[in-house]
Structure 1
Amino acid sequence: MTFQIRMLTLLLLIAVIAGILVSCIRTPAAPANRNEALSITTSIADAEGVAATNASWYVPPDVDRSSQNLANRGASSDTTPSFSSEIDADAVVAAYEKVIGDVHENVLPSVVSIFVLNRVQVSGSVPGFTYPFPFGQRQPQSGDSQQEFFYRNGQGSGFVWDTQGHIVTNRHVVVDAERISVQFSDGSSYIAEVVGLDQDSDLAVIRVERDAEQLTAVSLGDSNEVRVGQLAITIGNPFGQEFTTTTGIVSAIGRTLRTGDSQFSLPKVIQTDAPMNPGNSGGPLLDRQGQVIGVDAQIITRSGSNTGIGFAIPVNMAKQVVPVLISEGSFTYSWLGIRGTTVTPEAVDLMGAPEGTRGAQVIALAKDGPAHIGGLIGSTKSKSTSRGNIRYGGDVITSIDGQPVLEMTDLIVYLLENTRPGDTVAVRVVREGGEVAEIKVTLDARPELLN
């Protein structure tokens, strides 16, 4: 009986203490409208995991900040209290809108619309054109022996690189143009001349004669720091609608594409769902600070307009190529002279290499190219499987100059960022049967055309 009395007394005491504690806790009033605010709870532990940090987006007016801080500092070391705060949804949207608006206003003076005039040579009839012919030219009749031509308008975008009048855009926007006109956001227009073109990166530099005081160069970001999900903003000239801003996110990084009519792949391409359309080519892809992270270049589409899959050349590629285009007019890439792909586990198994081998599989060699002369071996065998035809029997490049090569893109990136024609590289390979070899290869310059 005595034990039961003691337990009852203890329970009553606990109830009284709990009541006192509850009465000391002051809960902020709920918003009148559930849509006015979003309630969240945060608890951020310090390095020792014992103290809590206040969320500070919004504090109800009837709560004293100093008392909160004192209460938190006096919290027991074995507890992690949480603080309920409220985020004003309208303020969140307003902050987002401010970021977009600020980027537009700050970067707009650096963005240009580009209009080009191309002379197109034709012979005989011109498919797809009916009278009146563009620019008043007579439409060639079928059977005409004399070669005719007509002019075609094109458009794109670009951005100011420096205060010397250099503007960066896509090669495909300005190549073979007879006339290039550049329009700034203040309405002024200038005739531009081509300074340099690079087919493999699809980058071009043009130049206008404008006072340095009237030129605002863009701020360049670091495309190696770009993350999937971050805000992506583009400003350009879609369908001739000058200085249009659209937004989205970075959808993917590390894409590999071929640009224009190039025979070589471009690595580290940024994919975004920020709307791009014809006329956006050459414009800047920006982060939330207004820094350029890429150069708009391509879209995947069946309709000719935006489908949510756009690609931008990484700005770090532009940092490498553009200064050389300005000084020399062209950019020369180093060339290993292979056609390759990322090796598959099936190919590794077929060639008898150690399980887990990763690298760039050499599919074919350019005759008398650097890799051929250096002694690399291309794939000579194939086998039909449920996953298709698998090539094997050649070298798998696992490192170059001591840097691991886990896939074909790693090899492309290393050659692009770290080598020049004439450099000698050490290529480590795994061969059929698991043999390991290290081969010295002297790189050449990329040829204009490959067999």
Structure 2
Amino acid sequence: MKKLGLLLLFSVMVTAVTSTLITLHLASRWMEAPVVAAGPPAAPAQLVNYKATTINAPDGFIQTCERVTPAVVNITSFSGGYRTAGGSGVIISSDGYIITNFHVVEGSNRVTVTFNNRRELPAKVIGADPTTDLALIKVTAEDLDAISFGDSDEVQVGEWVLAIGNPFNLASTVTAGIVSAKARNINILQGAYSIESFIQTDAVVNPGNSGGALVNARGELVGINTAIITESGGYEGYSFAIPSNLVYKVVSDLREFGRVQRAILGVNIQEIDDALAADLELPQVAGVLIQSVQSGSSAEESGLRAGDVIVKVNGVHTNSVPELQEQVARFRPGDRVDLEFIRNGRLYRRSDVELKGVNEPATSYRRE
């Protein structure tokens, strides 16, 4: 069976002449990217009640690009005096805060930002979170063009989106596509507390797009472009972006605390398929099955048990493992949530469940 490589979308800098030709091979080798068997990713999205978009998307692309492109920047990372990686970033405040991917700045000791008008400034890494592959950097500047956050929960399969970034160091490149699926887990991030709930699109993205913007037809940020699934090393129709609602929470933590405040429920969980739904006598294939409950966890204290099926968090359906993980990851330790779950065929609710933090070394860090 053929293998599909998972490729994080940073560009490895070699020389101005040769980097375009060999970026894909170097990126693949440097990342030692894992591979998955050909076929759909392991965590299919299950969404219902889609509404038709009211935006006449193609007619509005010109205005959207004019408004959003100045908020997307080119990022170059250095280590030991050498250029090591490059990618994209998104300005989120007029005073210089910029989102990018962790893998774009990982291991760097110097970072520079090149703006749409070719102005270049040094940047400081404020903090990073490898478990979501996000980083927050800052330049000293004022009156920058900043992007507005959209609500990624409202993004619908089939909706038009634009990907804006710097593939192959081609500044301010814009491509268009549709949302292909939501809540995808492609098993590219390592670690027990990694969160993968990607928005999948068919907008063309390539190495150098990492950290760039995925926007809706209104020009609102709905995702940060992060990875592609590829057999050849280039774009093949499968690109993945971190949803903006998760991005907002992570960068808010990094900005306020320098590290992510990660809340967990304290359960081991699995997907539900037709066979399992029949065994559990569920009315439909929905929810996430609790395999076990961790001792002393929020789940245990709220009375959850192995065999329970979590169907909602704060009224939001959780029909897959990525959806449940993303919903919980949006909260901080000490926050309270409402849970709905099925036990022995009956629906139960637990209100004001207090979430606890990760009880092990920090999963994110502040760059001093």
| Structure 1 runs not aligned, ≥5 long | 1-91, 120-134, 136-150, 379-393
What corresponds to 1:395 in structure 2? 308
Distance 1:186 1:263, change over 3 A: same
| Structure 2 runs not aligned, ≥5 long | 1-55, 363-368
TM-score calculated relative to the size of structure 1: 0.59
Secondary structure of 2:227's aligned partner: strand
Distance 1:339 1:288, change over 3 A: same
Deviation at 1:401, TM superposition (A): 6.2
* Counterpart Cα distance in 2 of 1:179 and 1:192: 8
What corresponds to 2:334 in structure 1? 422
What corresponds to 2:8 in structure 1? none
Aligned partner letter, 2:324: L
* Counterpart Cα distance in 2 of 1:112 and 1:195: 17
Partner of residue 371 from structure 1, selected from 299, 311, 326 = 299
* Counterpart Cα distance in 2 of 1:319 and 1:160: 13
Distance 1:397 1:289, change over 3 A: closer
Secondary structure of 1:177's aligned partner: coil
RMSD: 3.3
* Counterpart Cα distance in 2 of 1:167 and 1:328: 16
Contact 1:257 1:265 in 2 (8 A): no
Deviations 1:284-318 (A, max 9, x none): 11223332221111111132221111011122222
Distance 1:177 1:377, change over 3 A: same
* Counterpart Cα distance in 2 of 1:362 and 1:334: 17
Deviations 1:397-433 (A, max 9, x none): 345567665554553344234x4313455655545x6
* Counterpart Cα distance in 2 of 1:323 and 1:401: 21
User: Is structure 2 residue 189 aligned with structure 1 residue 260?
Assistant: yes
What corresponds to 1:359 in structure 2? 287
Contact 2:69 2:116 in 1 (8 A): yes
Judging by fraction of residues, say which structure has more helix. Answer: 1
Aligned partner letter, 1:300: I
The equivalences for 1:16-415 within 5 A come to: 96=58, 99-118=60-79, 153-210=84-141, 212-213=142-143, 215-256=144-185, 260-264=189-193, 266=195, 269-351=198-280, 353=281, 355-356=283-284, 358-366=286-294, 368-372=296-300, 376-378=304-306, 394-399=307-312, 405-415=318-328
Contact 2:308 2:342 in 1 (8 A): yes
* Counterpart Cα distance in 1 of 2:101 and 2:208: 11
* Counterpart Cα distance in 2 of 1:398 and 1:375: 16
Contact 1:287 1:293 in 2 (8 A): yes
Aligned partner letter, 1:294: G
TM-score calculated relative to the size of structure 2: 0.71
Contact 2:189 2:196 in 1 (8 A): no
* Counterpart Cα distance in 1 of 2:253 and 2:335: 18
* Counterpart Cα distance in 2 of 1:259 and 1:403: 26
Deviation at 1:176, TM superposition (A): 2.2
What corresponds to 1:123 in structure 2? none
Aligned partner letter, 1:361: L
* Larger deviation, residues 186-195 vs 408-417: 408-417
Contact 1:172 1:260 in 2 (8 A): no
* Counterpart Cα distance in 2 of 1:230 and 1:356: 27
Aligned partner letter, 1:117: F
Of structures 1 and 2, the one with the larger relative CO (CA 8 A, separation 6+) is 2
Deviation at 1:273, TM superposition (A): 1.1
Q: Percent identity?
A: 35
Distance 1:415 1:244, change over 3 A: same
Secondary structure of 1:250's aligned partner: strand
**Matched positions, count:** 306
Deviation at 1:372, TM superposition (A): 4.7
Deviation at 1:245, TM superposition (A): 1.9
